[in-house]
């Protein structure tokens, strides 16, 4: 009976085994030859391992760094997310710099596609083409010395208000994030739209949640796009931008001071008045203004949170920084600091603190790039070049992890003195960090971001001493949102006058 039953099953069984083996062979992730990678034995590649690491650390950046460490170095490695997507990784400063500066690499469709549903005509969503270059030219005034000095006043106004608010909270532990977010949104709104407002802050945050990547991103974006809440938020943002643009145009048409450019909309309208034609399409202007709010708010608040984390963890640095500022900046009750007061040349230790915050805090942790044409990379050994065909994808892992060879084994520690030479002067080349990227895609708002963070630190450091938190809250553990933020951050402020008088 057994022999009568088995023969009919042999053929299908063999066929099933052949199909199964073929399927496993086809769907098993194919690593790029000669690039180290972790073993991948399933369709999901290293995806499950990375998911476990992410659950433990809450940062995909740290999961990728772990892959590089396990595969032998920071110069070049790869991660296999599925059968069809090997992605290269690097945390090596030289490799990262070459890619950022080279025209062979740009943000790929996956990166720009994240922003296209929301702000399709903003620099964040554009390839480096003629439209991209036209937008860069249109907003060139935004990095001029005169514009930066004028708009710095908006940050000073909000810093004053922040100090007033926090002065009523001295002596108690509290979460600084809500007030920082509120104040930063007002300041950036004033710089972009001409008024310190939080009117569309909630709507912007609503739409920010629609930005997504990954294999299911197109479906998710389509769903989010038709969601009534999101449609209404987008409608209000468009109406607000149009109303502010109308106000600016009316000001100039009625003989307003065209020499005084106080915000981004004024700058564009002035260019229109001078040339007689629109310098940007209505959609282009709207998307750029929205992107400035989105990007500026998130990164600036994150950097401020890291400032508070590192300063509160290092009382000695607080004392040194305050003394440095007292010697070089007039007291806040005499006059507010200016852009010219706070330069790397005049306040080198302040600049060193900022750069070390950006280096170790690493707010913008990952930058994605795709080869626009056949090109090369430095190979895993750091020696011979390695071919990178058009379409090759690589993740640039910023942060201190890849700089141990340059900095030493204490590269993860917060030491602002690294950035000073023997004369105590600030040296931008002393240590590597690339928070604002480099090359054609370098952050447009980097100068303004640095001005705002300088002002913030001066006001905080000359007004308050940040008490060192309990050991369990001193960790620099990070949580990944759009940026990497410190987790478990609370602060306790004490006015310097009380500290010097020995009061509790």
Closest CA to 90 of 387, 382, 358: 382
Could you tell me if 97 and 87 are in contact, meaning their C-beta atoms sit under 8 angstroms apart?
A: no
Could you tell me if 167 and 204 are in contact, meaning their C-beta atoms sit under 8 angstroms apart?
A: no
| Burial class of 471 by CB neighbour count within 10 A (0 to 12, 13 to 18, 19+) | exposed
Could you tell me if 169 and 495 are in contact, meaning their C-beta atoms sit under 8 angstroms apart?
A: no
> Distance between CA 54 and CA 60 in Å, rounded?
6
> Distance between CA 387 and CA 219 in Å, rounded?
34
> Distance between CA 363 and CA 398 in Å, rounded?
9
DSSP 307-344: HHHHHHH-HHHHHHHHHHHHHHS--TTT----TTTS-T
Coil, strand, or helix at residue 346?
A: coil
> Distance between CA 61 and CA 74 in Å, rounded?
13
Q: Which residue has the tokens 């009382």?
A: 315
Residue 253, annotated ligand binder?
Answer: no
The single-letter DSSP state of residue 31 is: P
Closest CA to 390 of 405, 371, 365: 371
Rounded alpha-carbon distances, angstroms, from residue 313 to 7, 225, 468, 470, 495: 75, 43, 5, 10, 17
**Annotated binding residues:** 443
**Annotated binding residues for heme:** 443
């Amino acid at each position: 009976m057994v022999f009568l039953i088995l023969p009919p099953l042999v053929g299908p069984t063999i066929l099933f085994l052949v199909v199964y083996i073929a399927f496993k062979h086809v769907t098993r992730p194919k690593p790029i030859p000669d690039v180290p990678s972790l073993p991948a034995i399933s369709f999901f590649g290293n995806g499950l391992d990375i998911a476990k690491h992410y659950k433990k650390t809450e940062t995909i950046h740290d999961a990728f760094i772990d892959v590089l460490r396990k595969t032998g170095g920071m110069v070049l490695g790869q991660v296999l997310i599925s059968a069809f997507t090997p992605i290269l990784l690097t945390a090596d400063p030289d490799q990262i710099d070459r890619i950022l500066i080279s025209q062979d690499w740009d943000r790929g469709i996956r990166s720009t596609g994240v922003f296209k549903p929301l702000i399709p005509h903003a620099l964040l969503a554009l390839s480096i083409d003629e439209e991209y270059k036209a937008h860069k030219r249109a907003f060139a005034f935004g990095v001029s010395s005169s514009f930066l000095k004028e708009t710095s006043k908006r940050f000073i106004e909000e810093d004053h208000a922040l100090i007033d608010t926090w002065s009523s909270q001295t002596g108690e532990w509290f979460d600084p994030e809500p007030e920082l977010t509120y104040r930063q949104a007002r300041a950036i709104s004033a710089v972009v739209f001409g008024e310190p407002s939080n009117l569309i802050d909630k709507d912007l945050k609503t739409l920010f949640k629609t930005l997504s990547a990954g294999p299911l991103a197109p479906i998710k974006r389509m769903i989010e796009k038709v969601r009534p809440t999101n449609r209404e938020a987008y409608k209000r943002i468009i109406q607000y931008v149009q109303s502010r643009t109308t106000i600016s145009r009316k000001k100039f048409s009625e003989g307003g001071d065209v020499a005084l450019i106080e915000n981004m909309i004024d700058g564009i309208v002035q260019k229109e008045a001078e040339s007689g034609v629109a310098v940007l399409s209505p959609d282009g202007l709207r998307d750029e203004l929205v992107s400035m709010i989105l990007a500026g708010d998130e990164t600036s608040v994150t950097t401020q949170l890291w400032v508070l984390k590192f300063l509160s963890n290092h009382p000695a640095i607080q004392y040194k920084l305050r003394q440095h500022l007292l010697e070089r900046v007039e007291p806040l009750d005499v006059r507010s600091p200016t852009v010219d007061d706070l330069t790397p040349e005049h306040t080198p230790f302040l600049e060193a603190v900022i750069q070390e915050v950006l280096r170790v805090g690493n707010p913008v942790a990952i930058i994605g790039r795709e080869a626009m044409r056949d090109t090369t990379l430095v190979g895993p050994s750091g020696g011979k070049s390695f071919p990178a065909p058009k379409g090759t994808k690589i993740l640039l892992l910023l942060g201190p992890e890849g700089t141990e060879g340059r900095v030493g084994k204490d590269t993860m520690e917060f030491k602002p003195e690294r950035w000073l030479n023997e004369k105590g002067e600030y040296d931008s080349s002393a240590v590597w960090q690339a928070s604002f990227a480099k090359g054609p895609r370098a952050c447009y708002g980097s100068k303004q971001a640095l001005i705002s963070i300088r002002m913030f630190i001066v006001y905080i450091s000359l007004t308050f001493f940040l008490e060192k938190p309990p050991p369990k809250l001193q960790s620099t553990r990070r949580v990944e949102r759009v940026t990497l933020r410190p987790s478990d951050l609370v602060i306790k402020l004490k006015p310097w006058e009380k500290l010097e008088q020995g009061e509790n």
